[in-house]
Every structure is written in C-alpha cells, then in structure tokens.
Amino acid sequence: MRVVLATANSGKQREFATLLAPRGFELVLQSALGIAGAEETGRSFEDNALLKAHHAAAAAGLPALADDSGLEVDALAGRPGVWSARYAGVGATDEQNNSRLIADLTGVPDERRTARYRCVLALVRGPADKQPILAQGSWEGRIGHQPAGSGGFGYDPYFIPTGLNCTAAELSAARKNALSHRGAALRDLIARLGNWA
Ligand code: ITT
C-alpha cells in the first residue's frame, strides 16, 4: 500500500524504511511530493503526530504516517519533550540542540541524568479519518557527559540506553531498531493494524 511518510527528518526516514518495507508499505516521502512539513503547534506528541499525518494526507490525497518523538529528561522536568527538534531554537542543528542539553545539565550527577525517548505514530486513511491508528513506544536511558558514536541522529551520541555501556549512536542500525522507542512504536502499530489495509 502507498502511504505518504510525513517527516522531513532523514534519520527517521531510514529507520522507517527498514522497519516497514517488509510489511508491504510503499512509503512515499512527503518531500518527494513537494509537501512542506506542518507547523507543530500541539502540546503533546499525540497532537503533533496527528497534525502532521492529517496535513500530509490532505496534501497528498493518500494515507499518511507521521511520527512525533522526543527526549524527556527527568532533571529538566521532561524537557526538551515536544521541543526536542528545536530545543536550541527553530532550525537548530542536532549539534546545537545537544550543546544546549549538556549545558542545561551542567553539575547534574549521573544518577539524576535519567531520560527517555518517546515516539508516537499516527496512521490515517485520509485528512478526515476519525479513527486514526495511534501507536507508541519509549526507551529508557540516561544522558552522558561526552558524545560517542556516529550512528543514529539527534541526541543519540549522548543517550546511554539502560543496561548498555555505550550510546545509541554506537549501536548498529539493526540493534537500535530492535531496542528503540521508534522500533517499539512500529511494532505496536503493526499489532494494531488488523485489516486496516
Ligand atoms: P519531522 O517533524 O519532520 O518528523 P523532526 O525532527 O522535526 O522531524 P520531531 O518534531 O518529532 O521531528 O522531533 C524529534 C526530535 O527528537 C528529533 O529532531 C531529535 O532531536 C529527537 N529524537 C527523536 N527520536 C530520536 C532518535 O531515535 N534518536 C535521537 N534523537 C531523536
């Protein structure tokens, strides 16, 4: 089935393609259809995932899948949360966002650097779909002091998953997909699909 993937994030695109191709989804990037991203005005991951999916479905005339995800740091009262992509300002790079995160955690000891990634997926048949499929996943860990690794994207060079002695950016793509919030959300989505197609 042709589904428009409502993301401009190339890190997410790679992870989705690997996980969904075997399930018969033919993912079309919204950028390939000339569709710009929706403005993320929601206050929750759920709101933003739905907003992005409805926007892409309306513009493409196709079913749409969107992801809203982010990092919640306990010592920062859950920030950056829905602002993860623009923590250091609109249009910030991953490096700038990571610099702000590490600056905000100056002096915070290891045991208080706990965090989790969260991912919410929204799959809609069209812009007026009243029964979207929502799926979610999370991944616990903590924020390190030094960056390590070159895989993944975003905050991965600083995110040390619980039970591991390396960062998410040091994992292979397959290992990250097996452990991550996005992998978990996709497995949840697939379990909820039923006869959706
Ligand atoms: P789209 O809205 O176009 O999908 P985006 O990057 O703006 O792309 P979000 O608003 O969902 O997406 O923000 C997600 C941010 O959270 C992302 O830019 C990273 O900073 C962070 N993030 C989410 N998942 C991540 C992951 O698997 N690894 C590292 N950082 C992640």
Q: What is the pLDDT of residues 187-196, one digit of tens each?
A: 999 899 887 7
The confidence score (pLDDT) of residue 111 equals 97
Give just the sign of the alpha carbon dihedral 69, 74, 78, 84. Answer: negative
Give the total number of structural domains in the chain.
1
Residue positions annotated with a catalytic role: 68
pLDDT greater than 90 at residue 11: no
Confidence of residue 13 (pLDDT cuts 50, 70, 90): confident
137 lines ligand 1 (CB under 6 A): no
Give the residue numbers spanning the domain of 53: 2-193
Q: Phi/psi at 27 (nearest 5 deg)?
A: -85, 130
pLDDT greater than 70 at residue 197: no
- Look at ligand 1, atom 1, and give the residue with the nearest C-alpha: 7
72 lines ligand 1 (CB under 6 A): no
pTM of the model as a whole: 0.95
The Å distance, Cα 82 to ligand 1 centre, comes to: 9
CATH number for the domain that contains residue 179: 3.90.950.10
Q: What is the pLDDT of residues 113-154, one digit of tens each?
A: 999 999 999 999 999 898 999 999 999 999 999 999 999 999
180 lines ligand 1 (CB under 6 A): yes
Contact criterion met (CB below 8 Å) for 135 and 188: yes
